[in-house]
């Protein structure tokens, strides 16, 4: 199997939230589809061991906020790169509550769906939840954020390795004097300690 074929599947980006008792939590997913039209049902796929699916199993409820193109990396980092088991992801965060008391995004999302679980299928790594949509609302007009757009425009690019970055200066290894400029003349002598160009090392941008 060529697993790269999977990269050619298209997705959106969502905030899936739940509540059980007083505990609220949410995570980012890239998996949500309309699975049926009558009654309207959504399907979402959650990493089985995560905290959000634990709350969904307990309450039988989940709410999906559809992220739009105004969503930023800070939002995705807050909900998608740490677990509600160790941090309160909603602390200091402005959110709204649906009729079941589940949190959803007040902004940076263009739609919200409140769902009641009708079936859950354990698939190994993930749990597939199918939910009947109890309520839905359009929240904004910005286009939905696609997973491809998240990868290309929202996710910060890894900083290139030092050697791949441009040289912006040279530092004297003997005294620390800094020469500003990409090219150090071959006959350059350090104005502080008089050591030659060979004793300088590059400073990368």
Q: Which residues bind ligand FMN (CB under 6 A)?
A: 13, 25, 27-31, 45-47, 50-52, 76, 80-85, 150
Sign of CA dihedral 73, 74, 76, 82: positive
Of residues 128 and 167, the one with the C-beta less far from ligand FMN: 128
CB of 40 to ligand FMN, least distance (A): 20
CB 12 within 8 Å of CB 42: no
CB of 177 to ligand FMN, least distance (A): 44
CB of 176 to ligand FMN, least distance (A): 42
Of residues 16 and 190, the one with the C-beta less far from ligand FMN: 16
Tokens 């980006």 correspond to what residue?
13
CB of 17 to ligand FMN, least distance (A): 10
Of residues 52 and 65, the one with the C-beta less far from ligand FMN: 52
Name 190's Cβ contacts closer than 8 Å, sequence gap at least 6.
172, 174, 175, 177, 196, 199, 200
Name 24's Cβ contacts closer than 8 Å, sequence gap at least 6.
17, 18, 55, 90, 101, 102, 103
Q: How many CB atoms lie within 10 A of CB 100?
A: 17
CB of 153 to ligand FMN, least distance (A): 13
C-alpha–C-alpha distance, residues 2 and 11, integer Å: 19
Of residues 41 and 78, the one with the C-beta less far from ligand FMN: 78
Of residues 84 and 131, the one with the C-beta less far from ligand FMN: 84
Of residues 48 and 100, the one with the C-beta less far from ligand FMN: 48
Question: 79, 130, 151, 152: which is closest to 109 by C-alpha?
Answer: 79
C-alpha–C-alpha distance, residues 13 and 16, integer Å: 10
How many residues appear in the chain? Answer: 205
CB of 35 to ligand FMN, least distance (A): 15
């Amino acid at each position: 199997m060529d697993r790269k074929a999977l990269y050619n599947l298209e997705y959106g980006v969502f905030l899936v939230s739940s509540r059980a008792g007083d505990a609220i939590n949410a995570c980012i997913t890239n998996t949500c589809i309309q699975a049926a039209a009558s009654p309207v049902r959504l399907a979402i796929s959650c990493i089985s061991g995560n905290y959000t699916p634990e709350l969904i199993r307990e309450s039988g409820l989940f709410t999906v906020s559809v992220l739009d193109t105004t969503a930023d990396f800070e939002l995705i980092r807050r909900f998608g790169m740490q677990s509600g088991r160790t941090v309160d992801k909603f602390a200091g965060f402005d959110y709204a509550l649906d009729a079941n008391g589940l949190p959803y995004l007040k902004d940076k999302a263009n739609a919200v769906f409140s769902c009641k679980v009708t079936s859950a299928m354990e698939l190994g790594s993930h749990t597939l939840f199918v939910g009947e949509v109890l309520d839905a609302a359009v929240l904004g007009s910005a286009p939905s954020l696609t997973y491809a757009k998240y990868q290309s425009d929202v996710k910060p690019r890894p900083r290139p390795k030092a050697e791949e970055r441009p040289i912006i200066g040279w530092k004297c290894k003997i005294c620390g004097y800094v020469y500003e400029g990409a090219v150090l003349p071959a006959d350059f002598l350090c104005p502080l300690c008089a050591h030659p160009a060979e004793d300088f090392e590059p400073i990368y941008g």
